[in-house]
Amino acid sequence: MHIHILGICGTFMGGIAAIAKQAGHTVTGCDANVYPPMSTQLEQLGIVLTQGWDPLQLEQAADVYVIGNVVSRGNPLMEAILDRGLPYVSGPQWLAESVLRQKWVLAVAGTHGKTTTTSMLTWILEDAGLNPGFLIGGVPENFGVSARLTDSPFFVIEADEYDTAFFDKRSKFVHYRPRTAILNNLEFDHADIFPNLDAIQTQFHHLVRTVPGQGLLVVNGRDAHLSATLQRGCWTPVEHFGGSDGWQCVEPATDAVDPGQPRMVRFAGHDIAPLRWDILGGHNRMNALAAIAAARHVGVAPELAVDALSRFRNVKRRLEVRGTVRGVTVIDDFAHHPTAISETLAALRERVGGGRILAVLEPRSNTMKQGIWKDDLARSLDDAQAVFCYTRGLGWDAAGALASLGARLTAGDDLAALVQAITVEARDGDTVLVMSNGGFDGIHGQLLAALSA
């Protein structure tokens, strides 16, 4: 079958393309911007890419058109597909019907930590010899690719709550019908498509409705919003993590905790094994508990899962060191929500101790650009000794919203000036933490070059 994918260069749709190719289909695709690294990955798979939305692409006579949620009405290629009555389907629906129907699906949902937790769970199953298929919204270092199809009965997927397509406004994850589902956390986000938290809770409730009675829900025991969601109805056994019962990661009984000191994984009051790894942050220990619990549901002994995590390598753009120049270390992270920003800074503090952290933030998500979280942003940056905020494209006054940071704040829409200010401020022993859910105009390389000069 010939599949033509519209919006192929996004991480999710690029993963769909890779899986379709591995399944034996002829795959082509297009996007508004065809550029590395995704274009390189797809071309290496033998997938022909087209720049733009020219209706002439229909001359390829594909059997079905798989539509990404970047495509909207008015798109010339989509309009031609509709006018000619050609078959089309969303990416999540194609995946569900063509791949997931025959699989034991393990889905990881939540506002934060989906990519990392999905990667952890996939690695645990891989280390246990289960050879899972997967589709992840990032590139886990243990695999080097974001998606693959195998003959294993198990498939691990990052279950995104964003909408499916212009013709299907349900969240992507309602298509996946998991047998094992992790609900990591739940906060308001995606203000471009959800009017409020209740609307997101409704989508999570719909996900809960799809998990069978013989399945398992692995749920953050600290999250009141998830608890309220389950109160709407739950027909599946639940295991909690991070709360006062269920799965726990017990802190060492010392006043000054060494970041490298292992925490004991405990389930239902019984010690399992110490978690020995170099991944930082309490949020990542929560992610680990969720992955261990989900892996147990498919038969991986918890002590084996804990051991596998000692060999887990993190996901790209999660506290990823991009370089060190003149004693200044530049780190990249995907954090773009106040909770994620706060947790990322806390995790980095474990590594640097009393060292200075220079936080560099691009409020780039739709929710951030609308100023939904502007009143919470300053508090999330409390652990940084200096804060640099890139204000281009914002519809609100960042300098005013962050005024409580005082002299620690530098804000502006001139990237070159911001790079210069960071370079002047940075000194030997500092860590520069760059946070954005986009490319940030290549600021990481610019900083390293400026520091070298």
Ordered alpha helix ranges (H), 55-196: 76-84, 91-98, 114-127
**How far is Cα 28 from Cα 47, in angstroms, rounded to an integer?**
5
Instruction: Report the CATH superfamily, name and number, of domain 320-452.
Output: Mur ligase, C-terminal domain (3.90.190.20)
Q: Closest Cα partner for 308 from 347, 277, 272?
A: 277
Query: What are the boundaries of each domain within the chain?
Result: 2-90, 99-309, 320-452
Dist. CA 119–CA 114, nearest whole Å: 8
Burial class (CB in 10 A: 0-12, 13-18, 19+), 97: exposed
Q: Are 135 and 95 in contact, with CB atoms under 8 Å apart?
A: yes
C-alpha count within 13 angstroms, C-beta hemisphere, residue 80: 12
Six token digits for residue 325: 């120049």
Alpha carbon 45 to chain centroid, angstroms: 24
Residue 258 pLDDT: 59
CATH level 3 topology of 99-309: UDP-N-acetylmuramoyl-L-alanine:D-glutamate ligase (3.40.1190)
Joined together, the tokens standing for residue 315 give 């996901």
**104 beta partners:** 154
Superfamily the domain 2-90 falls into: NAD(P)-binding Rossmann-like Domain (3.40.50.720)
Task: Render each residue's pLDDT in the chain as its tens digit; 453 residues.
Answer: 999 999 998 889 999 999 999 999 999 999 998 766 677 888 888 999 999 999 999 999 999 999 999 999 999 999 999 999 999 999 999 999 999 998 999 999 998 889 999 999 999 999 999 999 999 988 888 898 889 999 999 999 999 998 999 999 999 999 999 999 999 999 877 767 788 889 999 999 999 999 999 999 999 999 999 999 999 999 999 999 998 889 998 877 655 455 557 889 999 889 999 998 877 778 889 999 999 999 999 999 999 999 999 999 877 677 788 899 989 999 898 777 788 888 888 888 888 888 999 999 888 776 776 667 778 788 888 888 999 988 887 878 888 888 888 888 888 888 999 989 999 898 999 999 998 877 787 888 889 998 888
- 366: helix, strand or coil: helix
- Distance from C-alpha of 333 to C-alpha of 311, rounded to nearest angstrom: 21
Give the HSE-up count for residue 139: Cα atoms under 13 Å, Cβ half-sphere.
12
- In the numeric block, the tokens 């992790």 are attached to 182
Report yes or no: 63 and 45 within 8 Å, Cβ to Cβ. no
DSSP string across 251-294:
PPS-SS--TTSPEEEEETTEEEEEE------HHHHHHHHHHHHH
Q: What is the pLDDT of residue 150?
A: 96
